Amino acid sequence: IFRGKLEGKGAKVIEVSKKYGICPKFYSALLCHESTFGTSAFALKYNNVAGRMEKGGKAPMKFSSVDECLESSARHLQKNYVLENRVTLAAIQKKYCPIGAKNDPKGKNRDWLSGLQSLMERI
Protein backbone atom coordinates (compact mmCIF):
# COMPACT_ATOMS: atom_id res chain seq x y z
CA ILE A 1 0.00 0.00 0.00
CA PHE A 2 3.00 2.31 0.60
CA ARG A 3 4.40 4.01 -2.49
CA GLY A 4 6.72 6.91 -3.23
CA LYS A 5 8.58 8.10 -0.15
CA LEU A 6 6.83 5.48 2.03
CA GLU A 7 7.91 2.53 -0.09
CA GLY A 8 9.96 0.11 2.00
CA LYS A 9 9.13 1.93 5.25
CA GLY A 10 6.71 -0.63 6.72
CA ALA A 11 9.16 -1.95 9.32
CA LYS A 12 10.07 1.58 10.43
CA VAL A 13 6.39 2.54 10.74
CA ILE A 14 5.77 -0.50 12.95
CA GLU A 15 8.90 0.22 15.02
CA VAL A 16 8.00 3.84 15.81
CA SER A 17 4.32 2.98 16.31
CA LYS A 18 5.22 0.49 19.01
CA LYS A 19 7.82 2.82 20.54
CA TYR A 20 5.23 5.57 21.02
CA GLY A 21 2.18 3.42 21.84
CA ILE A 22 0.33 4.04 18.59
CA CYS A 23 -1.65 1.41 16.71
CA PRO A 24 0.52 0.53 13.66
CA LYS A 25 -2.57 0.08 11.49
CA PHE A 26 -3.81 3.55 12.43
CA TYR A 27 -0.39 5.14 11.88
CA SER A 28 -0.02 3.46 8.49
CA ALA A 29 -3.49 4.65 7.45
CA LEU A 30 -2.79 8.17 8.66
CA LEU A 31 0.47 8.34 6.72
CA CYS A 32 -1.20 7.03 3.56
CA HIS A 33 -4.06 9.49 3.92
CA GLU A 34 -1.89 12.52 4.68
CA SER A 35 0.73 11.85 1.99
CA THR A 36 -1.35 10.22 -0.77
CA PHE A 37 0.42 6.92 -0.05
CA GLY A 38 3.83 8.64 0.01
CA THR A 39 3.47 10.54 -3.28
CA SER A 40 2.25 14.00 -2.18
CA ALA A 41 4.22 17.16 -2.90
CA PHE A 42 5.07 17.49 0.82
CA ALA A 43 6.37 13.92 0.87
CA LEU A 44 8.43 14.27 -2.28
CA LYS A 45 9.84 17.74 -1.62
CA TYR A 46 10.18 17.80 2.19
CA ASN A 47 10.19 14.12 3.31
CA ASN A 48 6.96 15.08 5.09
CA VAL A 49 4.87 11.90 4.84
CA ALA A 50 2.55 12.96 7.66
CA GLY A 51 1.23 16.26 6.27
CA ARG A 52 2.67 18.14 9.24
CA MET A 53 2.60 21.93 9.23
CA GLU A 54 4.77 24.50 10.99
CA LYS A 55 3.21 26.35 13.91
CA GLY A 56 0.55 28.62 12.54
CA GLY A 57 -0.25 26.20 9.73
CA LYS A 58 1.16 28.34 6.94
CA ALA A 59 4.03 26.14 5.72
CA PRO A 60 4.84 22.43 5.66
CA MET A 61 7.39 21.06 8.08
CA LYS A 62 10.62 19.98 6.40
CA PHE A 63 12.48 16.83 7.43
CA SER A 64 15.99 15.67 6.53
CA SER A 65 14.65 12.15 5.95
CA VAL A 66 11.43 10.15 5.93
CA ASP A 67 12.63 8.31 9.04
CA GLU A 68 12.98 11.64 10.86
CA CYS A 69 9.40 12.52 9.89
CA LEU A 70 8.10 9.12 11.02
CA GLU A 71 9.81 9.46 14.41
CA SER A 72 8.78 13.09 14.94
CA SER A 73 5.19 12.48 13.89
CA ALA A 74 4.78 9.40 16.09
CA ARG A 75 6.21 11.32 19.06
CA HIS A 76 3.75 14.17 18.28
CA LEU A 77 0.81 11.73 18.19
CA GLN A 78 1.83 10.20 21.50
CA LYS A 79 2.22 13.56 23.24
CA ASN A 80 -0.84 15.28 21.83
CA TYR A 81 -3.29 12.40 21.43
CA VAL A 82 -2.35 9.13 23.17
CA LEU A 83 -1.31 10.78 26.44
CA GLU A 84 -4.55 12.82 26.34
CA ASN A 85 -6.44 9.52 25.98
CA ARG A 86 -7.60 10.38 22.45
CA VAL A 87 -7.37 6.86 21.12
CA THR A 88 -10.46 6.47 18.92
CA LEU A 89 -10.62 7.93 15.43
CA ALA A 90 -13.53 10.16 16.41
CA ALA A 91 -11.68 11.53 19.45
CA ILE A 92 -8.54 12.14 17.41
CA GLN A 93 -10.46 13.92 14.66
CA LYS A 94 -12.00 16.41 17.09
CA LYS A 95 -8.53 17.82 17.74
CA TYR A 96 -6.49 16.74 14.69
CA CYS A 97 -8.81 17.93 11.93
CA PRO A 98 -12.12 19.16 13.30
CA ILE A 99 -15.02 19.61 10.93
CA GLY A 100 -15.52 23.31 10.24
CA ALA A 101 -11.95 24.31 11.17
CA LYS A 102 -10.79 27.67 9.82
CA ASN A 103 -7.83 26.03 8.05
CA ASP A 104 -10.16 23.74 6.11
CA PRO A 105 -12.01 26.05 3.72
CA LYS A 106 -12.82 23.21 1.29
CA GLY A 107 -14.38 21.02 4.00
CA LYS A 108 -12.00 18.10 3.50
CA ASN A 109 -11.92 17.32 7.24
CA ARG A 110 -15.44 15.96 6.83
CA ASP A 111 -13.99 12.96 4.94
CA TRP A 112 -11.06 12.28 7.30
CA LEU A 113 -12.83 9.78 9.58
CA SER A 114 -14.33 7.67 6.80
CA GLY A 115 -11.08 7.88 4.84
CA LEU A 116 -9.04 6.56 7.77
CA GLN A 117 -11.57 3.83 8.49
CA SER A 118 -11.45 2.69 4.89
CA LEU A 119 -7.65 2.67 4.82
CA MET A 120 -7.46 0.75 8.09
CA GLU A 121 -9.75 -1.91 6.64
CA ARG A 122 -7.47 -2.20 3.58
CA ILE A 123 -4.29 -2.53 5.66
Q: Is this prediction's pTM over 0.75? A: yes
Residue 105, pLDDT score: 80
Q: What is the rounded CA–CA span in Å between residue 27 and residue 73?
A: 9
Q: Could you write out the DSSP letters of every residue in 24-63?
A: HHHHHHHHHHHHTTTTSHHHHHH--TT--B-TTSSSB---
Between 1 and 121, the more confident residue is 121
Residue 57, pLDDT score: 75
Between 70 and 1, the more confident residue is 70
Range 99-107 average pLDDT: 83
Residues 46-78: tens digit of each pLDDT: 999 999 999 877 889 999 999 999 999 999 999
State percent of the chain over pLDDT 70.
100
Q: Are 22 and 77 in contact (CB under 8 A)?
A: yes
**pLDDT-derived band of residue 106, with 50, 70 and 90 as boundaries?**
confident
State percent of the chain over pLDDT 90.
81
Summary mean pLDDT of the chain:
94
Is the pLDDT confidence value at 1 over 90? no
Q: What is the rounded CA–CA span in Å between residue 121 and residue 69?
A: 24
Is the pLDDT confidence value at 103 over 80? no
